[in-house]
Chains A and B, each alone.
Chain A
């Protein structure tokens, strides 16, 4: 943008090019307004509410990132497509991508309701407040919020009755991938780069570390925080710092596969998160913890169609194949693979989450017992976990 001198220097009151042009700008604006009113007069607005119970269900997904991000949002959109395939003519689905968390979320929801959607899935934590507010505003629409924590922490009475939350035990599949890491390390230092020191990430790193220690008690898990969900430049630096600190296996709990580049350059095994990168990094790939949202979305919409809405606060497990692991790379030996599969089968048989926490007394980094042998952790225990278990070299406070 260039602002020229003559434009600024014109003294007030003179009839100048600047003045006429300013009038021209205002005229553009007036024109848009007039055109708007004209179209309003020509088109009668259609009302498109009142969902028919027998017809197709209109459901919408709100994404914080682009649908092709190769990670979190894409996994949800794959779930949406799975549901669309499974439900066929009974579902008309749509999505909104790159929606900021804040006032914009409420506007997007208003639009979706106007379009006749009766089920809305919010797939980023930051949409939660807007989703609850909208649930109060639109009692006939169902609002379902991924990674929401209000029902778990504050109880179901703290949220509107047409609002539900869902998420899955990623820490359990990370326990399985931790086994691969524990077997792969030679100098017993496993490097982890992770976004933020928050309970979700902390419990997942704990699961990963316990998995590694289950096959390699001497393994240390070294954690660096990137302070970003998605930032390839920072992710690269973090991976390089882990290599410099002596880690010979890298686990990247990030949204981009940048750490794989670093691992490849140093010829070190690495593990991803939420995305199968086995094809891109065949020489160094171990595996990754992944989520399959499709069956949940299908089941949820079906239950709503059948009039069986409930605030189930779903927490997906290995047993219902909500959480699973990506294909193994060639670096994972057949023996390790079968050990992991055996553990996976054991987990599936429990039909619950977190079978490993109470296998023995678990200590935090200071040596204090935080989980006693035989103890099972509730979803709330997991959601508020703020300590690292022993054997993790890193600060759970950031």
Chain B
């Protein structure tokens, strides 16, 4: 028997959060992350101050760093929105990863099909629609399975990530598909056809800062989602269905429909991310690169840190993008990639942990220990 179980430790929701906690908790959790991180760094004989300084410089402050951070942030923004929207109705879509791939497949397909003669705005518009459609269709599968047969969407959406990854790999590595380049160096190593120049999305030069069109699109979508959730009937239904499906049913709503609709909306967001990946950055369907990046899974972390708020997702995506970016700058012969991961994990853990402390009080009691065993 541990001490915890004898004493009984439980978390009790705070009824009233004192004002000072608004700023004290985030500052506290952030500082404790830095502090714990410093201990880890000192143990591994690194200088914490210079490490933290380098994270800030290479993530956000050096010339060009912020532009690179915005590139990293763009896919995370879409997959973060994908998870945030779905989790809010209690549909745990872990399939953002696969929906992202399918979006990339659809978007690159339409760009290649339209060819170099299509006007730029038509090609880009078609890619946006196709990417969203691809992601939505892929997410429809776990959505309808959950609504009709009460299957666990965590499992089905996760498994479909592998199916999508294998499918995209098949298109480039194992078949002479429409997406695959067969001439030139394509005859030497499997690769996708590069989409025509007219279908490549622009980036906007603002002095030293380069802002990808995809990021702006993502911000617009985030604002739209915010309005959708707060100001529309559908948004209200989403909240009720997420909170209490039976209440929703008594109120005359159709929870199954709402779940399927939200699943498809969520998938469409990840699919848009896939379209952005092809249109703005890679300009090609690259199943290997996509699977190495793992944007879909990272999006779940983004959504959690943003507390499922679409507007907060924008900021969290940029910050996580910067940290990822700085992580590559940090590592090297004297700084193992594992240590970078440890630091990143500590920051995430402390931030999420701090939020729990802000929401709940820790209550120690000697009563009913059996119900509270740790």
Name A's B-contacting residues (CB within 8 A). Answer: 1, 3, 5-9, 11-12, 17-18, 20-29, 31-32, 35-36, 39-40, 43, 45, 64, 66, 93-104, 106-108, 110-111, 114-115, 125-126, 147, 149-150, 152-154, 196-200, 227, 383-384, 386, 398
A96–B242 Cα distance when bound, in Å, is 43
B contact residues around A383 at 8 Å (CB): 188
Which of B169, B240, B354 is the one whose CB lies under 8 Å from A227?
B169
A contact residues around B187 at 8 Å (CB): 153, 199, 384, 386
Is B216 interfacial (CB 8 A cutoff)? no
Q: Which single residue of chain A is at the shortest CB-CB distance from B60?
A: A36
Instruction: Check if B331 sits within 8 Å of A26, measured CB to CB.
Output: no
Is B286 interfacial (CB 8 A cutoff)? yes
Which of A26, A107, A149 is the one whose CB lies under 8 Å from B68?
A107
Q: Supply 21 A–B pairs (Cβ within 8 Å), ascending by A.
A: A1-B87, A3-B87, A21-B359, A25-B26, A26-B312, A28-B30, A29-B319, A31-B30, A36-B60, A36-B61, A96-B332, A100-B293, A101-B286, A108-B328, A125-B189, A150-B185, A152-B188, A196-B173, A198-B189, A198-B190, A383-B188
Instruction: Check if B71 sits within 8 Å of A107, measured CB to CB.
Output: yes
Interface residue stretch chosen among B111-119, B122-130, B143-151, B302-310:
B302-310
Instruction: Check if B56 sits within 8 Å of A40, measured CB to CB.
Output: yes
Assuming the contacts A5-B243, A9-B243, A96-B331, asked whether A20 and B21 have C-beta atoms less than 8 A apart, the reply is yes
Is B368 interfacial (CB 8 A cutoff)? no
A103–B67 Cα distance when bound, in Å, is 12
Name B's A-contacting residues (CB within 8 A). Answer: 13-15, 17, 21-23, 25-27, 29-30, 52-53, 56-58, 60-64, 68, 71-72, 87-88, 90, 169, 173-175, 184-185, 187-190, 230, 239-240, 242-244, 277, 281-282, 286, 288-290, 292-293, 300, 304-309, 312, 315-316, 319, 325, 328-329, 331-333, 337, 351, 354-355, 358-359
B contact residues around A17 at 8 Å (CB): 13-15, 17, 359
Instruction: Check if B61 sits within 8 Å of A28, measured CB to CB.
Output: no
Where chain A touches its partner, the secondary structure class is: helix
A12–B238 Cα distance when bound, in Å, is 13
B contact residues around A23 at 8 Å (CB): 22
Extra contacts, 15 of them, besides A11-B239, A111-B58, A153-B187 (Cβ < 8 A), are A18-B307, A28-B30, A31-B26, A39-B57, A45-B61, A45-B62, A95-B333, A96-B331, A102-B282, A110-B68, A147-B189, A200-B188, A200-B189, A386-B187, A398-B175
A contact residues around B355 at 8 Å (CB): 21, 24-25
A contact residues around B21 at 8 Å (CB): 20, 24
B279 CB → nearest A CB, Å: 12
Which of A12, A40, A100 is the one whose CB lies under 8 Å from B61?
A40
A1–B175 Cα distance when bound, in Å, is 39
A384–B187 Cα distance when bound, in Å, is 6
Assuming the contacts A17-B359, A20-B358, A29-B316, asked whether A103 and B72 have C-beta atoms less than 8 A apart, the reply is yes
Q: Which single residue of chain B is at the shortest CB-CB distance from A111?
A: B329
A153–B56 Cα distance when bound, in Å, is 43
A103–B68 Cα distance when bound, in Å, is 9
Which of A20, A29, A101, A227 is the one whose CB lies under 8 Å from B292?
A101
Assuming the contacts A6-B13, A12-B230, A66-B337, asked whether A32 and B173 have C-beta atoms less than 8 A apart, the reply is no
Assuming the contacts A25-B306, A95-B333, asked whether A227 and B68 have C-beta atoms less than 8 A apart, the reply is no
Assuming the contacts A17-B17, A21-B358, A66-B337, asked whether A3 and B292 have C-beta atoms less than 8 A apart, the reply is no
A386–B176 Cα distance when bound, in Å, is 13
Instruction: Check if A111 sits within 8 Å of B328, measured CB to CB.
Output: yes
Assuming the contacts A154-B185, A200-B188, asked whether A27 and B22 have C-beta atoms less than 8 A apart, the reply is yes
Assuming the contacts A102-B289, A386-B187, asked whether A25 and B332 have C-beta atoms less than 8 A apart, the reply is no
A contact residues around B52 at 8 Å (CB): 39
A152–B185 Cα distance when bound, in Å, is 9
B contact residues around A199 at 8 Å (CB): 187-189
A255–B26 Cα distance when bound, in Å, is 45
Which of B58, B175, B189, B351 is the one whose CB lies under 8 Å from A28?
B351
Q: Which single residue of chain B is at the shortest CB-CB distance from A99?
A: B328
A197–B316 Cα distance when bound, in Å, is 41
A11–B174 Cα distance when bound, in Å, is 52
Instruction: Check if B290 sits within 8 Å of A25, measured CB to CB.
Output: no
Assuming the contacts A8-B243, A29-B319, A102-B282, asked whether A149 and B185 have C-beta atoms less than 8 A apart, the reply is yes
Q: Which single residue of chain A is at the shortest CB-CB distance from B89?
A: A8
A contact residues around B351 at 8 Å (CB): 28
A contact residues around B243 at 8 Å (CB): 5, 8-9
Instruction: Check if A31 sits within 8 Å of B27, measured CB to CB.
Output: yes
A297 CB → nearest B CB, Å: 15
Which of A39, A102, A106, A147 is the one whose CB lies under 8 Å from B293?
A102
A21–B281 Cα distance when bound, in Å, is 35
Instruction: Check if B337 sits within 8 Å of A97, measured CB to CB.
Output: yes
A contact residues around B331 at 8 Å (CB): 96-97
Which of B26, B56, B244 is the one whose CB lies under 8 Å from A39?
B56
A contact residues around B22 at 8 Å (CB): 20, 23-24, 27
